[in-house]
Amino acid sequence: MSRPRYVMTVDTKTCVGCNACVLACKSENGLPEQGYRDWIVTETTGAFPNLFQEIRSERCNHCDRSPCVSACPTGASYRQEDGIVLVDPAKCTGCKACIAACPYGARYVHPRGFVDKCTFCVHRLTAGKQPACVDICPTDSLTFGDLNDPRSAVSRLLKSRRHKTLLPEEGLLPHVFFLI
């Protein structure tokens, strides 16, 4: 059996930007006041009256080609074999090279000094649960799973729905897909 390749899909057609994912993440991970591992982006395009609005729940994209991991001088930022990018606070110096390297603004300095970001709730995955944001989403806009498993919900969604990633021109191969 091949290794899992964890990805997340965000359905922009059903996301209402209720912030439940943001609050669930803060609560689950005990984040500080200024700390956010996920956030809501509302993008409005066009000219009145022909306006189009897209609401996205965004987070670290756990890129295949992670510039944050390459920039890290101590190995504190690393990528697991399942594709999840993590930070080991015990190795982090707070040099902020990873924050500068990330085009998504997904990282922030925790008040204790180390850099923090979305972990796809790796502690919940090992307990057989879904990430907290996925669990709480009232419109089922967030789906998480193994892209290497053709029967997984994310595989089926990405086969059947049009989708995009953020800043594809950077060539970072993100693991968060937006269904459009």
Partner 1 sequence: MTEIEINRASQLIDPQLHIWGIEVPIYLFLGGLTAGLMILTPLLLGRTPPAQRTKWMRWLPLVAPLILSFGMLALLIDLSYKLHALRFYAAFRPASPMSWGAWILIAIYPATLLLGLATLDDNDWRWVSGRNWIKKIGVLTLAEAARRFALNHTGRIRIVNIVLGIGLGGYTGLLLSTLGVRHVWSSAVLGPLFLVSGISTGAALMMLWPLGEKSHPWLRKVDIAAIVTELALLALYLVGLSSGNTAANAAAQLFLGGPYTATFWSLVVFAGLLIPLFIELFEARKRIRPTVWAPVLLLLGGFCLRLILVSAGQV
The contact set with partner 1 (CB under 8 A) reads 17, 19, 22, 34-36, 39-47, 67, 69-76, 90-97, 99-103, 105, 108-109, 112-115, 169-170
Under DSSP, is residue 178 helix (H, G, I), strand (E, B) or coil?
A: strand
Neighbours of 2 (CB within 10 A): 7
Q: How far is the CB of 173 from partner 1 (least distance, A)?
A: 14
Q: Which is nearer to partner 1, 91 or 156 (CB)?
A: 91
What is the Cα–Cα distance from 131 to 8, expressed in whole angstroms? 10
Q: How far is the CB of 151 from partner 1 (least distance, A)?
A: 35
Under DSSP, is residue 147 helix (H, G, I), strand (E, B) or coil?
A: coil
Q: How far is the CB of 155 from partner 1 (least distance, A)?
A: 29
Which is it for the CA torsion 81, 3, 102, 26, positive or negative?
Answer: negative
145, 131, 180, 161: CA torsion to nearest 10:
20
Q: Which is nearer to partner 1, 27 or 93 (CB)?
A: 93
Q: Which is nearer to partner 1, 141 or 152 (CB)?
A: 141
Q: How far is the CB of 175 from partner 1 (least distance, A)?
A: 17
Q: Which is nearer to partner 1, 4 or 174 (CB)?
A: 174
Pairing of strands 85-87, 77-79: antiparallel
